[in-house]
Amino acid sequence: MPNPLLGVFYHWLGGLASASFYLFYRPVKQWSWETYWLVGGFFSWIIAPMGLAWLLVPNLWSTIQATDTHVLMWVYFFGVLWGFGGLTYGLTMRYLGLALGMAVVLGFCAAFGTLVPPLLNGQLALMIQKPSGLCILAGVATCLVGIGISGMAGTSKEKELSDEEKTAAIKEFNFGKGMLVATFSGVMSACFSYGLQAGKPLGVLAKASLLTNGGSDLWQNLPILVVILWGGFTTNFVWCVLLNLKNRTGHEYLNLRRTAVGEVSMAEGMMLSSAPEEESLRATAKPGAVERPAGPAPLLPNYIFSALAGTCWYMQFFFYSMGQTKMGKYDFSSWTLHMASIIIFGTLWGIWFKEWKGTSKRTHSLVWLGLFVLVSSTVVVGWGNYIAAQEAKAVPAVTAH
């Protein structure tokens, strides 16, 4: 049964998980990006989605096998495309910086992922004829405005950095190239939303199996996530293995060598955190190379933290699927809520870690204004769903008369 307010709450939990997962990678030591990303990815794309779906959805495998092959192929295909979006997301950070890059990519992702499905389904024309539809569209527009303001805050922050800080933060700033990559990344990342739409027949079968066996329809989208993430795993697995071969970092999984010098991959160079040991690597390494500290990497802690990061990453879509189930016929607004909540909690983490320290009052004002507008967008979307619920209740009453 639809419950928009509960749906918004679930989307906020998903946004918190998405904005927080990378914190678990920070304690990982002496592993290249491709190594810890792939280890965490096994939990993100294989272990967590399949494990939770197997526990919560009766007859999971028979339900997937009963789904039309063409449906499964499209869901998997959109997962592969989404994987490209995730990989090029890092390249966007390389050219635009973290704050501006995140705002631009998620802006495109929110717009395409929210509006394209109802447009293709022919629902968009019907929506604008109802107050609820107009309200939800207003919420989507408000979200995009909030993302734009967040991008302005990021740009303002980067302008206020010294030349030395700019070089350290964005070594290859290129607005034109960055916007092209950001557009590609945003469109490809939105393919996750398309995969969810394409997998609805699988969700219907899963719902029937759940209700037949006394389960909750809250879990009906979990099998769809399994298939989408198979596609995402394919893209990321191939890319990470290629980087392991190119950079000769495959030994890191088992500590087969004590020292290694590896070329900084496109992704690794962008995803390095601000941990002290990584700062020292930046300072001492030759251009284009990273010399890892002597001695074996702490394998057990590395695997544990990577597993926690991967599981936390998956929980964003676990809660997303729950929220989408509760949004009713206007579940298309789920993607906007998800993008908005990621930026909200990501910005709050940035404030907590003092990433905005030293910036002007204008930049701080833009940060808080962006947060306010994004939170407001979720309220507007939630109100639109409430109106939709009231409209749905009014229809039987009119028919009765």
The 10s digit of each residue's pLDDT in 73-86 is: 999 999 999 999 88
The per-residue b/e assignment along 191-203, b for 16 or more CB within 10 angstroms, e otherwise, is: bbbbbbbbbebbb
- The mean pLDDT value for 216-228 works out to 91
Question: Of 45-54, 110-119, 128-137, 160-169, which one has max mean pLDDT?
Answer: 45-54
Q: Within 10 A of 372 (CB to CB), how many other CB atoms are there?
A: 13
Does position 144 have pLDDT exceeding 50, yes or no?
yes
Provide the pLDDT for residue 99.
Answer: 59
Over the chain, what is the mean pLDDT?
78
The per-residue b/e assignment along 167-176, b for 16 or more CB within 10 angstroms, e otherwise, is: eeebeebeee
Listing DSSP states for 70-114 in one string gives HHHHHHHHHHHHHHHHHHHHHHHHHHH-HHHHHHHHHHHHHHHHH
Provide the pLDDT for residue 151.
Answer: 75
Does position 67 have pLDDT exceeding 90, yes or no?
yes
Identify the CA nearest to 260 among candidates 243, 270, 248: 248
Provide the pLDDT for residue 326.
Answer: 79
Does position 321 have pLDDT exceeding 90, yes or no?
no
Q: How far apart are CA 264 and CA 272, in angstroms?
A: 10
Q: How far apart are CA 209 and CA 220, in angstroms?
A: 9
Provide the pLDDT for residue 177.
Answer: 76
Alpha-carbon distances of 13 from 3, 121, 146, 168, 391, rounded to whole Å: 16, 28, 19, 33, 28
Identify the CA nearest to 249 among candidates 262, 237, 236: 262
How open is the CA angle 45-50-53, to the nearest 5 degrees?
130
Identify the CA nearest to 211 among candidates 59, 2, 4: 59
The residue among 9 and 224 whose pLDDT is bigger is 224
The pLDDT confidence band at residue 270, using thresholds 50, 70 and 90, is very low
**Residue 289: strand pairing partners:** 263
Question: Of 98-102, 139-143, 279-283, which one has max mean pLDDT?
Answer: 139-143
Sign of CA dihedral 295, 286, 278, 301: negative
Sign of CA dihedral 326, 330, 332, 337: negative
Q: How far apart are CA 226 and CA 67, in angstroms?
A: 13
CA end-to-end span of the chain: 25
- The mean pLDDT value for 337-343 works out to 79
How open is the CA angle 177-339-137, to the nearest 5 degrees?
105
Q: Give percent above pLDDT 70 in the chain.
A: 74
Provide the pLDDT for residue 185.
Answer: 86
Provide the pLDDT for residue 287.
Answer: 45
Sign of CA dihedral 395, 396, 399, 401: negative
Confirm if 154 and 93 have CB atoms less than 8 A apart. no
Identify the CA nearest to 171 among candidates 282, 263, 280, 86: 282
Does position 331 have pLDDT exceeding 80, yes or no?
no
Q: How far apart are CA 223 and CA 90, in angstroms?
A: 28
The residue among 235 and 105 whose pLDDT is bigger is 235
Phi then psi dihedrals of residue 289, to 5 deg: -140, 155
Confirm if 10 and 322 have CB atoms less than 8 A apart. yes
The pLDDT confidence band at residue 327, using thresholds 50, 70 and 90, is confident
- The mean pLDDT value for 4-9 works out to 78
Whole-prediction pTM value? 0.73
Query: How many CA atoms lie less than 13 Å away from 163 in the CB half-sphere?
Result: 0
The residue among 151 and 184 whose pLDDT is bigger is 184
Q: How far apart are CA 327 and CA 14, in angstroms?
A: 14
Q: Is 143 exposed, middle or buried (0-12, 13-18, 19+ CB in 10 A)?
A: buried
